[in-house]
Amino acid sequence: MAEPNRRSAAVPNDLEAFWVPFTPNRAFKRAPRLIVRAKDMHYYTPEGRAVLDGTAGLWCTNAGHNRDPIVAAIQHQAAELDYAPAFQFAHPKSFELASRIAALAPADLDRVFFCNSGSEAVDTALKIALAYHNVRGQASRTRLIGRERGYHGVGFGGISVGGIVGNRKHFGTLLAGVDHLPATYNREHQAFTKGEPEWGAHLADDLERIVALHDASTIAAVIVEPMAGSTGVLPPPKGYLERLRAICDRHGILLIFDEVITGFGRLGYAFAAERYGVTPDMITFAKGITSGAVPMGGVIAREGIYDAFMRGPEHVAELFHGYTYSAHPLACAAGLATLDLYRDEKLFERAKALEPHFADAAMSLKSVPGVLDIRTVGLTAGIDLASRPDAFGKRAYEAMERGFHDEGVMIRITGETLALTPPLIVSEAQIGEIFEKVGRVIKAVT
Helix, strand, coil share (%) of the chain residues, nearest 5: 40, 15, 40
User: DSSP state, 86?
Assistant: S
* By CB under 6 A, residue 64 contacts ligand PLP: no
* By CB under 6 A, residue 399 contacts ligand PLP: no
Q: Which is nearer to ligand PLP, 119 or 338 (CB)?
A: 119
Q: Give the residue at shortest CB distance from ligand PLP.
A: 118
Specify which residues 283 forms β-bridges with. 257, 300
Q: Which is nearer to ligand PLP, 56 or 122 (CB)?
A: 122
CA quadruple 236, 159, 181, 127: dihedral sign: negative
* By CB under 6 A, residue 152 contacts ligand PLP: yes
* By CB under 6 A, residue 229 contacts ligand PLP: yes
* By CB under 6 A, residue 118 contacts ligand PLP: yes
* By CB under 6 A, residue 230 contacts ligand PLP: yes
What whole-number distance in Å separates Cα of residue 375 and Cα of residue 327? 36
What whole-number distance in Å separates Cα of residue 338 and Cα of residue 156? 30
DSSP string, 224-256: E-SSB-TTT-BPPPTTHHHHHHHHHHHHT-EEE
What whole-number distance in Å separates Cα of residue 353 and Cα of residue 258? 24
Instruction: Report yes or no: 297 and 282 within 8 Å, Cβ to Cβ.
Output: no
Specify which residues 381 forms β-bridges with. 376, 420
Instruction: Report yes or no: 150 and 161 within 8 Å, Cβ to Cβ.
Output: yes
Q: Considering only residues 190 through 219, tell me which ones interact with ligand PLP, judged by CB under 6 A.
A: none
Stretch binding ligand PLP (CB under 6 A), from 145-153, 242-250, 351-359, 376-384:
145-153
# residues near ligand PLP by CB under 6 A = 14
Q: Name the residue among 70, 115, 36 with its Cα closest to residue 290.
A: 70
Applying CB under 6 A, among 43, 113, 114, 151 the residue interacting with ligand PLP is: 151
Q: Which is nearer to ligand PLP, 122 or 332 (CB)?
A: 122
Write down the least CB distance from residue 258 to ligand PLP, Å: 4
Q: Which is nearer to ligand PLP, 361 or 413 (CB)?
A: 413
Write down the least CB distance from residue 286 to ligand PLP, Å: 5
- Side-chain-side CA neighbours of 424 within 13 Å: the count stands at 30
Applying CB under 6 A, among 57, 106, 153, 423 the residue interacting with ligand PLP is: 153
Question: Counting runs of H as helices and runs of E as strands, what totals does the chain give?
Answer: 17, 15
For the chain, the maximum distance between any two Cα atoms, rounded to a whole number of angstroms, is 67
* By CB under 6 A, residue 122 contacts ligand PLP: yes
Stretch binding ligand PLP (CB under 6 A), from 49-57, 240-248, 254-262, 367-375:
254-262
Write down the least CB distance from residue 55 to ligand PLP, Å: 11
Q: Considering only residues 401 through 440, tell me which ones interact with ligand PLP, judged by CB under 6 A.
A: none
* By CB under 6 A, residue 298 contacts ligand PLP: no
Q: State the residues that interact with ligand PLP by CB under 6 A.
A: 117-119, 122, 151-153, 225, 229-230, 258, 260-261, 286
